[in-house]
Amino acid sequence: MAEIHDQNPPVPDFTTGEYSTARAALKALIPDLSDEVVATSLKTVWIQNQVVEAEKQRQEHEAREAAATKQARLDKEAEEIVKAAEAEEREAACKEEEKKNRAKFVPVRRGIELPNELPLDIMLVDGGDGVPTWVRGGAKRTLTTKVPDDELTWEQVQVVVMCFLAALTLAGWPQDHQSMFAEFFAGIQMHPWRTSIDIDGIKSQALLIYMEERRRLWHQYLELDISDAPDLSIINEEALWLAKDEAYDRHRRRVDRVHQRVSNHKGSLQPWSK
């Protein structure tokens, strides 16, 4: 029941002088009415008017409530539409981010090292219509990557590593990825070759070659559309020795170039033959 502004007001006493004009008007219309009947009639009309007014207020109140309920429903529906659109946008942005930065979202298989070889999962075959087609196959390719620019000093490496790990944090990389890279760099920096006798610097450069190659190969591995990533922090001894062989070859080439320059210089100093 709706609220009435003057709920249950007292019924006026229509026998008093205050309502003499109303009584006189009613008796003028119906002269045979007694004063008691006139007062009772006025009271009945007043009560009926109160009932009509109360019903009017009730209907207005219900109309306001219905309008408010409808508006609340429309507001909620609009809010849900906006939230759904925002969620769809976030999901699309996440998918785009995963597509652009796959390494950030592929889970790491801790304890499973990065192999030296991985399956090249496609091969070129004749599709039957004379058009070559790429299909899945069992071929393999080596993961060895030659790195031409790895002449950093260990002081520079420490700075680069700190910046790299900080960048991972700022970019929102998962904690397991951050831990893996931190352990990877720490394992290289604390490797026995860092502090062992290394007159020609071969062992030190081998660690730098290994660090650069393994990091790149880890990202190459993810290009195979795998469901999870190997653990880069595990030292691959075979790859480390291959890096040492590469460091030795580079050292020999540098020495040979020096010897060649010295030999050429000496030849230029020889007197002209008569």
Inside any domain, residue 117: no
Helices and strands in the chain: count of H runs, count of E runs: 7, 6
Question: How would residue 13 be classed by pLDDT, with cut points 50, 70 and 90?
Answer: confident
Question: How would residue 9 be classed by pLDDT, with cut points 50, 70 and 90?
Answer: confident
Inside any domain, residue 121: no
Q: 68 with 170, same domain? A: no
Inside any domain, residue 103: no
Inside any domain, residue 122: no
Q: Give the predicted TM-score (pTM) of the model.
A: 0.50
**Greater model confidence, 168 or 143:** 168
Which helix (H) or strand (E) segment is 189 a member of?
Answer: helix 175-189
Q: How far is CA 110 from CA 89, 118, 180, 181, 191, in A?
A: 33, 18, 8, 12, 20
Q: 160 with 84, same domain? A: no
Q: What is the mean pLDDT of residues 255-268?
A: 72
Residue 87 three-state SS: helix
Of 89, 243, 104, which is closest to residue 181 (Cα–Cα)? 104
Residue 175 CA to residue 180 CA, distance in Å, equals: 9
Q: 79 with 159, same domain? A: no
Q: 85 with 171, same domain? A: no
94's CB contacts (< 8 A; 6+ apart) are none
Q: How do residues 202-242 score in pLDDT, each as one tens digit?
A: 999 999 999 988 988 888 887 776 778 889 999 999 999 99
Asked if the model's pLDDT at residue 253 lies above 80, the reply is yes
Say which range, 150-159, 181-190, 209-218, 242-251, has the weakest mean pLDDT: 150-159
116's CB contacts (< 8 A; 6+ apart) are 142, 143, 144, 236, 238, 239, 242
